[in-house]
Structure 1
Amino acid sequence: MAAVVLVHGLYHCPEHFAVVAERLRAAGTEVVVPELHRGSLAADTAAVQAAVDALQEPPIVLGHSYGGSVITGVRGAGHLIYLAAFVLDVGESAAGLGGASQQLRNAMTPGPDGSTSLAPDPAVDALYGDCPEALATWAVGLLRTQASGCGRGVPERHSWKRTPSTYVVCAQDRAIDPGLQRTMAARCTDVREWQTGHSPFVGRPDLIVALVQELLSTTNTPRRRDEPVTTMR
C-alpha cells in the first residue's frame, strides 16, 4: 500500500493534518502523522524515523515549516515534500537561516522555563490569515506550547541530497519569508508555488492531497532506501 508520513511544524500537532489525512486514507493511502514536541530536533527526527521504518515501502514524507528540518534528517523516504519548510545543509539550522518572520515572533509569548506559546490573534494573522474564520479559529485552538531550542537544531543527515524532493513555496506566507523559501527550494528536485499563506493544510487541503496523489502516481519504480538520486534543476 502507498504510504505518506505528514510531519507538522512548531506549535502544531497531528490534528492540524486531520482533513488531509482523512482524504488520503479515503483514497486508499496509508497515512502516518507522528507527534513531535519531543524536546529537540534529534528527538523529533527519531520519532519520524521510527514511523518511516515501520512502513513496508519507502513513503512520501512531507514536512511543514520546522518539519522540514526534521525530514531532512530522516533516511528511507521515497520522496520528500517541503511545504514552506526548512531545507538545511551541513551546519545549518532553521533559526540560522532566518527562522520565523518578525510577524510570527511578535505572536510569541515566553514561558518561565524558556518555552514559548503563541497569542491567538496574532497567530491567526501570521499562520492562518488566508483561511476562513471558522477554520482559523479551529486551527489556532490546537496550537501547543513549544519547548525552546528546536529551531536551533542542526540535522545529522541531509536526505534531500539523496532523495527526490519537491518544494512548495507558499507565496502569501507571513510566517516564513517567501524569498527565503525560494532560496531553499533551489536545493530540491522540483519546485511548486502556491498562492497561499503558511498553512494550506488548513485552508486548502485539496492542494496537498492533489500533490501527494500526483507524486504517488508518478513514483512507480521501487527504489532502495537512501539510494542516491541525480537531481536536475
Structure 2
Amino acid sequence: MGGVVLVHGLYHQAGHFGVVAAGLRRVGVEVVVPELHRGSLREDTRVVQEAVDGFGVAPVVGHSYGGSVITGVRGAGHLVYLAAFVLDAGESAAGWGGGSAALREAVVAVGEEGATRGGGGATNRGGGATRLRPELAAGVLYGDCPAPLARRAVGLLREQGPGCGRGVPERQGWRTTPSTYVVCARDRAIDPGVQRRMAARCGEVREWPTGHSPFVGRPELVVGLVREVLAGLGERR
C-alpha cells in the first residue's frame, strides 16, 4: 500500500506516533518516524529528507513544529500538516507567535525548577535546553485524551535544544506539492485561529474536534487520513 513518513514536534519523539504507526503497519503501510532533536531546523530537515529519499514519492505528515520541517523537504508526494506550522519564505514558527501562553508557561530551563521562561514557542530565551513541566504539559498537549494515554505521552516527552522554533525553512514545499491541513479545533498549544490562517496556504483543509495531539487521543483519525492520502497518490500515478 506504500509508505509514509511521520514527523513529530518539539519535545516529542517517535514513540508518540506508536499507535498510529502500528495501525498503519497492520494494513500494509511501511512507516518511518525519524527522530528529530538534531539541534536545528536545518538538521531536522536533513534527517527527514533522508527518510523521504528512501521511500521515493510518499506522503509526509508533520505535527506542530514538524510542519516547519516538512515544509523544507523535497520529493514528498503529499504534505499533511497536523496542527502544524506552514511557513512561507523568511518565516519561522516563532514569527507566527509559536505556542500558546499556556504552552510557554509549561516550558522550563533544564535544571531550573519552577522557571517559566519561554521563547520561540517552545525554547527559552536564555539559549539552553528546556523541558516541559509534566503537570502542565498534560493539559496543554493531551487535555482531550484519556488520562492513562495522557500520562504515557507525558512520560515520553524529551528535553529540547534551543533555537529550532526560530528556524526558517530553505524552501516552501506546500507551493508545489499537494497538501492537507488538519485544524485541531480544541488545541491549547497552538491557537486554532492561527492554524486556520496557515491552513489557507494548503490545498485542502479539514477540522477535527480534538486537542493538539490526535495521534494520542484519536489515532484512528490519523490512520484514516494517511490511508486516504495514500489511496489518492495511487490514483494519481
Distance in 2 (CA, whole Å) between partners of 1:139 and 1:101 is 19
AA in 1 matched with 2:22: E
CA separation in 1, counterparts of 2:165 and 2:59? Answer: 23
In structure 2, what residue type is equivalent to 1:181?
Q
- C-alpha distance in 2 between matches for 1:42 and 1:214: 30
Write the letter of the residue equivalent to 1:140: V
Trace 1:100-111 onto structure 2 (pairs within 5 A).
100-111=99-110
Unaligned 5+ residue runs, structure 1?
A: 224-233
1:135 is aligned to 149
Query: Paired residue for 2:195, among 154, 166, 181?
Result: 181
Matching residue of 1:25: 25
2:110 aligned with 1:96: no
Which residue pairs with 2:118 in the alignment?
none
Given residue 34 of structure 1, which amino acid in structure 2 is its aligned partner? P
Distance in 1 between residues matched to 2:58 and 2:26, nearest whole Å: 17
- Identify the residue that residue 77 of structure 1 maps to in structure 2: 76
User: Which secondary structure does the structure 2 equivalent of 1:220 belong to?
Assistant: helix
1:121 maps onto 2:135 in alignment: yes
Alpha-carbon deviations, 1:48-88, whole Å to 9, x = none? 00001111x31110000000000000001000000000000
Q: Does 1:15 align with 2:39?
A: no
Structure 2: give runs of 5+ residues left out of the alignment. 112-126
202, 211, 223: which is aligned to 1:209? 223
1:144-202 per-position Cα deviation (integer Å, ceiling 9, x unaligned): 00000000000001000010000000000000000000000000000000000000000
Question: What is the Cα deviation at residue 110 of structure 1?
Answer: 1.1
Distance in 1 (alpha carbons) for counterparts of 2:235 and 2:49: 22
Q: Is 1:159 equivalent to 2:159 in the alignment?
A: no
2:66 is the counterpart of 1:67: yes
AA aligned to 1:129 is G
1:222 Cα deviation after fit = 5.3
Distance (whole Å) between structure 2 residues aligned to residue 167 and residue 28 of structure 1: 24
CA RMSD of aligned residues (A): 1.1
Give every structure 1 segment of 4 or more consecutive aligned residues whose post-TM-superposition deviation is greater than 3 Å. none
Q: State the TM-score, normalizing by the size of structure 2.
A: 0.92
Pairwise CA distance, 1:220: 2.1
Query: How far 1:221 sits from its partner (Å)?
Result: 4.4
Equivalenced residue count is 222
The yes-or-no answer on 1:52 pairing with 2:21 is: no
Instruction: Determine the C-alpha separation between the residues in 1 that align with 2:143 and 2:235.
Output: 39
SS in 2 for 1:82: strand
Whole-angstrom CA distance in 2 between matches of 1:220 and 1:111: 46
Give the secondary-structure state (helix, strand or coil) at the position aligned to 1:217. helix
Alignment correspondent of 1:4: 4
| Separation of aligned partners in 2, 1:222 and 1:197 | 32
Aligned partner letter, 2:208: W
- In the aligned structure 2, how far is the partner of 1:214 from the partner of 1:6? 15
CA distance in 2, matches of 1:61, 1:94: 19
Scaled by the length of structure 1, the TM-score of the pair is: 0.93
**Paired letter, 1:4:** V
Q: CA deviation at 1:111?
A: 2.8
The amino acid that maps onto 1:143 is L
